[in-house]
Structure 1
């Protein structure tokens, strides 16, 4: 949608914002407006939509997108003009477009190059009688930090909004420059009568471009001449149906779409330096990447290299029963020695407490990219005579590896051929061996065959391993204690995550201090403040750092408290949480934490001398499918198979018994997953055991109703109640 697109249009870093518009700027703005809206505009009088779309909320009469890459003087210039003309057919669409939000470009400087970014927006409303009302964007926009918004007054059903946005970037004095890749679907959440795409370049701009899933193929419509080196490529589509872009969906895998990337190389010398799958010449549009091209690009890139002194000293203190064990332990050591060992330093530096890096000696090794890590780790494998392969994959939302087009969509994995193969992906503080990105699981990939643990001599297609829903599990135990006067409830929740389910939870909850000091103790390295030898400085830094830690921990607790309150949609009090295990040393190593808090009596209702407890509300975060979602037509793409195990324990108040717990039993299971629940009375406790699970990471649409069956069962459980009956 328009307001969503504009909200993502452009953010400039290190900016020196120009607030007043110059005469030249106003003239350029007028030039762009006349380029889009003029007497020759073929869509100026287009107002009608096809009969079959009369019941839609809105319809795009036209979507026109133009990309232009050229080279004024020694600079290179990129421009994009997107124009949409949309007819609003109901009140929901009117509300959607009554306020438009966007961000503007700025002028900023980067190193030696002057980079100019420009943004223009034009908006007009066309009434059913043909009257046009142009919105004065410069006068009517209201700023809120980087964001601006414009209210569109008196908008009504039947109106047309015709708008464009123009972005322009000029980069000075660059000999080699790769633009950000563009990957988009043709469709939108509203149908499109006419979709038009064009791409204009000239000499020294190389293009990778292809369309997918039935989208029209790119055609060259303007050829270069001796006087004019301009090249124009385009494709058009008509009567494009809308798509709802539902949850669990990868649009680029199924919908008509296009992908492209442009690279500028001023001469053949720079073409050879380009780290990309570059076309043979500027007259050729590259549409795919072969296995051989992947082999050629990476043949020499991953030669083992690195100073292994620290690793060798680590190994002298250790003995291992297998190479598999050795590989895993060295990975964890490297993760600390060249990553988490420096986390405190970055925090100190960013917080302006001190400049810390001189405390680590000259040229400390810090890994911040995949290639350096792979080269270093393979150097260790080579020295220890352990065979390995380098896997080239692409995440599932990009499509199949056979359709790979851009180097930026590649992911690297090391496959270490120990007794049982060990898969290693580039690490972050939580990465563990044999836990690759879930979006790479069960995909086809290429493996670079390494001979003598040094030379890449062949490439083959393989299938990456996948995990199961039982391996990717989360366990949540919630215990409720009701106040004697039924005025509130004390809740204790404990969580345990394994496999792929723990990754996002670790990133959302853990802070660096939740694992850094454990690593220092494990590997006998010094925390940063222990490295400061001057006692006076050390005391000063300790005081400032203690204040920072308190602030960070308070914020951490507040963030998790707000998340929990949002899950229950209730106000919570007396909140505390504690991390029990950070789960960073093995795929099977669980991440565990617990929290305690109190809520009011919102879940308790009086029924004479008895009480009704909304026990189902304790099962938070269940999916409530709308009627529209139940009629889904798309296939289902999920991140990974997974299982959720819940246990709800209610301490039965003295003098009361439980009635209605027999209705808490459910058992829905099929080939896609399931939802089961059962309840029992154990002494003075009501214990409810629940499981929900998704068996696969993909389901065809033909299985959607089977998924709906257990999703609805879980949703219905949240409405369950029990009676606490006075004895």
Structure 2
């Protein structure tokens, strides 16, 4: 194991602005270090793997003329109580990369020392000990033992010129970690022209201001003691439940830059903004989106078409836009990247290609305005960020468009697989703000709404696997047909489908031409098509081994002659499935000979299941799964002539409760074993009190995946 150093880097632009390494060491370990003699831990933590005696974070934002300097410093002092902790801290790794935004070289200054139980200190020469491995720097800590204290720091400064508005990366972290922390401190320093959004959550300690002599400079701090550890288990959202802090700093030298800032800025630099109110959000977004774009393409598409309702028309136009302004150009980008030719001139003067969500929204608003169809702009945030009422960081905002047809339609991301009413699952069932657009022109009001969400009956995967054994029982032929609905399609859309699986579908549907058909000279066209055909064949060959490996990992088997075909892309509605057929030969890890009989690992074919480890059985955190979902597996096994099957009783299972279920029924019909299993995650959220109920059906499904049947010779 290795310990990943805090992701901070050191940028030296001018030696006159950078502290020396001795000064940096003194910053952490000098005479003012109040924890240099802190070597003991409370009795209650003696059985913990490790205990953090002191954790310190320091952030500093300053300007010098046109130069802006950002400093981030991090230190941790840890008592190691067992071999697992020793192993974890015995190697440090970090990366050194150039920063293309400023064209500067990034460096990292690290300090590590080991304090033995007798008080002896050994400071590691980090420059000498660092070695480069796989684009990383690694430092081995020698002679680390149980009972030692390891004390390490990471110091970063970033200096660059800026005369315009600039937003530093947002920082969002929990105070606690996997080890208990005895003492924690965060300091934060800024001056004029730096605007700060900062708040703590979930009973985190308050950020307090420290008085300074210079009126233009400000310092703040957070102090906490005895922070408990957390296991950060599966299906958990730490920033929703644990004490944490979030902040972002924006640099702006004047009022015009403040207005252009992509942030919810406080009124002035001396104020720490702790929440973006409903009014802040209204003021920020009321002019961000506006109807815009030439509708000629859409109007041509609508000519001669009749629709039963505005809802039907809106969806049809959306799918047309998805092709006309996105998928129609995908081939061109592939051809360009492969250096076959430069195809973009074939589309005429100034073709429209949507690269940003804002472009889609503004254009669609223009269409809705022309059609006199009412709509709202929805401002939301993923549930991993907490409620919209606590939102602070602008980049955590997601924008949806709600069209107020007979049944409202929501539009989210715009990509080749996007579907009306299927937006980011992290937004489903959350509170959001609706910006009311007056007369299809201007945002006039804002109100809180609750977004809808798909259920486990919408997000469905149905898999039918047909199995037949070879005459000599050394292999088995398998046919797997998967039909995926709702959000479950997202698991496979980007994985199993490449552009050539759907662009021809769009060309045929909308009567548009492949890019190479637009080439005028036949000689050039033939040449380019030959090269493009070879490229596509190469793509397909690369996919063969990838898909074969995936099926082997899914079922823990070895296969041969794997073939995959996309029967339906599932790109035109939530209820339209993505359908994939796979045929393959199982060569090992399924059939085991036992005398004259054979053991079959039949349970494998409900795919890999969640294995709840013993340490996970006790849980204090609430449960947040990705979204409600359902899986149905049908397994058909041909029973060879002259054999009977035993072990069916283990394949009949029924575990159901309000959190979910696993139900399986197995029977022999017409000399065929037929197993139908269903697994449901009914909700995306469960309180920790329901964890044991979830474990009940999760364990049942996992146990089924391990089950075997016996083929007995008559």
**Given the two structures, how large is their TM-score scaled by the length of structure 1?**
0.94
Which secondary structure state, in structure 1, belongs to the residue aligned with residue 619 of structure 2? coil
Deviates more, 1:551-560 or 1:663-672: 551-560
Are positions 1:28 and 2:20 aligned together? yes
Which secondary structure state, in structure 1, belongs to the residue aligned with residue 573 of structure 2? coil
Residue aligning to 2:77: 85
CA distance in 2, matches of 1:77, 1:605: 66
Residue aligning to 2:633: 646
Are positions 1:532 and 2:519 aligned together? yes
From 538, 549, 567, give the equivalent of 1:551: 538
CA distance in 1, matches of 2:488, 2:687: 23
Equivalent positions of 1:491-640 (< 5 A) are 491-640=478-627
2:328–2:503 Cα contact (<8 Å) kept: yes
From 58, 71, 89, give the equivalent of 2:63: 71
1:5 positional shift: 5.0
1:462 positional shift: 0.7
2:195–2:269 Cα contact (<8 Å) kept: yes
Are positions 1:313 and 2:300 aligned together? yes
1:10 positional shift: 6.2
2:3–2:90 Cα contact (<8 Å) kept: no
Instruction: Give CA deviations for 1:652-695 in whole Å, capped at 9, x if unaligned.
Output: 11211111213211111001110000101111210110001011
Residue aligning to 1:15: none
Instruction: Supply the RMSD in Å over aligned alpha carbons.
Output: 2.1
Which secondary structure state, in structure 1, belongs to the residue aligned with residue 434 of structure 2? strand
1:372 positional shift: 1.8
How many corresponding residue pairs? 714
CA distance in 2, matches of 1:212, 1:26: 34
From 269, 272, 279, give the equivalent of 2:266: 279
CA distance in 2, matches of 1:39, 1:539: 77
CA distance in 1, matches of 2:60, 2:2: 21
1:236 positional shift: 1.1
Which secondary structure state, in structure 2, belongs to the residue aligned with residue 71 of structure 1? strand
CA distance in 2, matches of 1:401, 1:11: 35
Q: 1:262 to 1:565 in 2, by over 3 A?
A: same
Residue aligning to 1:666: 653
1:2 positional shift: 7.7
1:536 positional shift: 3.6
1:114–1:172 Cα contact (<8 Å) kept: no
Q: 1:179 to 1:2 in 2, by over 3 A?
A: farther
Equivalent positions of 1:359-398 (< 5 A) are 359-398=346-385
Deviates more, 1:209-218 or 1:654-663: 654-663
Residue aligning to 1:129: 118
Q: 1:10 to 1:323 in 2, by over 3 A?
A: farther
CA distance in 1, matches of 2:259, 2:611: 54
Are positions 1:264 and 2:256 aligned together? no
Deviates more, 1:22-31 or 1:677-686: 22-31
Instruction: Give CA deviations for 1:275-307 in whole Å, capped at 9, x if unaligned.
Output: 321100000000011111111111122221111
Query: Which structure 1 segments of 5+ residues have no match?
Result: 13-17
Deviates more, 1:367-376 or 1:278-287: 367-376
Q: 1:25 to 1:449 in 2, by over 3 A?
A: closer
2:10–2:109 Cα contact (<8 Å) kept: no
From 182, 193, 206, give the equivalent of 1:217: 206
Are positions 1:183 and 2:175 aligned together? no
CA distance in 1, matches of 2:305, 2:347: 25
CA distance in 2, matches of 1:632, 1:351: 51
Q: 1:428 to 1:447 in 2, by over 3 A?
A: same
Which secondary structure state, in structure 1, belongs to the residue aligned with residue 427 of structure 2? coil
Instruction: Give CA deviations for 1:409-437 in whole Å, capped at 9, x if unaligned.
Output: 11111111111111111311110001111
Which secondary structure state, in structure 1, belongs to the residue aligned with residue 486 of structure 2? coil
Q: Which runs of 4+ in 1 moved over 4 A?
A: 8-12, 21-27, 113-116
2:8–2:108 Cα contact (<8 Å) kept: no
Are positions 1:55 and 2:44 aligned together? no
Q: 1:125 to 1:78 in 2, by over 3 A?
A: same
1:207–1:285 Cα contact (<8 Å) kept: yes
Q: 1:26 to 1:452 in 2, by over 3 A?
A: closer
CA distance in 2, matches of 1:529, 1:312: 26
CA distance in 2, matches of 1:290, 1:553: 51
Which secondary structure state, in structure 1, belongs to the residue aligned with residue 584 of structure 2? strand
Deviates more, 1:596-605 or 1:275-284: 596-605
CA distance in 2, matches of 1:29, 1:194: 26
1:9 positional shift: 4.8
Equivalent positions of 1:303-452 (< 5 A) are 303-452=290-439
Which secondary structure state, in structure 2, belongs to the residue aligned with residue 439 of structure 1? helix
1:507 positional shift: 1.6
Query: Which structure 2 segments of 5+ residues have no match?
Result: none
Q: 1:543 to 1:86 in 2, by over 3 A?
A: farther
1:11–1:103 Cα contact (<8 Å) kept: no
Q: 1:594 to 1:632 in 2, by over 3 A?
A: same
Q: 1:198 to 1:317 in 2, by over 3 A?
A: farther
Which secondary structure state, in structure 2, belongs to the residue aligned with residue 122 of structure 1? strand
Residue aligning to 2:191: 202
CA distance in 2, matches of 1:223, 1:349: 58
Are positions 1:490 and 2:482 aligned together? no
Instruction: Give CA deviations for 1:568-621 in whole Å, capped at 9, x if unaligned.
Output: 233322222111111100011101112222233423233332222121222322
CA distance in 2, matches of 1:337, 1:225: 58
1:721 positional shift: 1.7
**Given the two structures, how large is their TM-score scaled by the length of structure 2?**
0.96
